Amino acid sequence: MQTIPFLPDRLNAEPVVFRGFTTPEMGLAAWLGLAFGLMVSLPFIPLAGWVMIPTGMLFMPLLLISFGGRWLAQLKRGKPENYIWLTLEEKKRRLGIGDPALINLNSG
C-alpha cells in the first residue's frame, strides 16, 4: 500500500463549530461567560433577589459566544492553529502559575 508523501497542513485541524470557535474554544468561552455572569449578577441581588444569579450565568455565555466569535476569528486570522492556547499558556507563565519549563523572552 502506497503512502502519501506529504501531510496536508489542515488535515488534523479541529473544525470550526460556531462563529469562529472550535469545540474547546467554545467551551472555554462558555466557562468564562459563566464566571463573568456570576460576578456581574451579584450586585443585582438586592434589586431582584436570587434569581439574578442564574439569569446572569445563562445570559453572559450567550453574549460572549455570539459577539466574541467575530473578535476571536479576527484574532486567529493568519496565526497557527494553537495560537490561542499558546497565548494563554504564556499569560499564565507571566503570572507565575504556568509551566516553569516555558521559556519567555523577559525571563532574563
Q: Each residue of 51-77: pLDDT tens digit?
A: 999 999 999 999 998 888 888 888 888
Judge if pTM exceeds 0.85.
no
Is the domain of 25 the same as that of 70? yes
Is the domain of 67 the same as that of 91? no
The verdict on residue 7 lying in a domain is no
Cβ 43 vs Cβ 8: under 8 Å: no
* Grid cell digits, residue 73: 476569528
Residue 64, burial from CB neighbour count under 10 angstroms (0-12, 13-18, 19+): buried
The verdict on residue 97 lying in a domain is yes
Spans of the chain, pLDDT less than 50: none
pLDDT of residue 9: 62
The verdict on residue 61 lying in a domain is yes
Cβ 26 vs Cβ 17: under 8 Å: yes
3-class SS at 97?
A: coil
**Beta carbons within 8 Å of 21's beta carbon, 6+ residues apart:** 29, 65, 69, 72
Distance CA 66, CA 36 (A): 15
pLDDT of residue 108: 52
Q: Please give the residue range of the domain that contains residue 86.
A: 80-108
For cell 474547546, name the residue. 24
Is the domain of 41 the same as that of 88? no
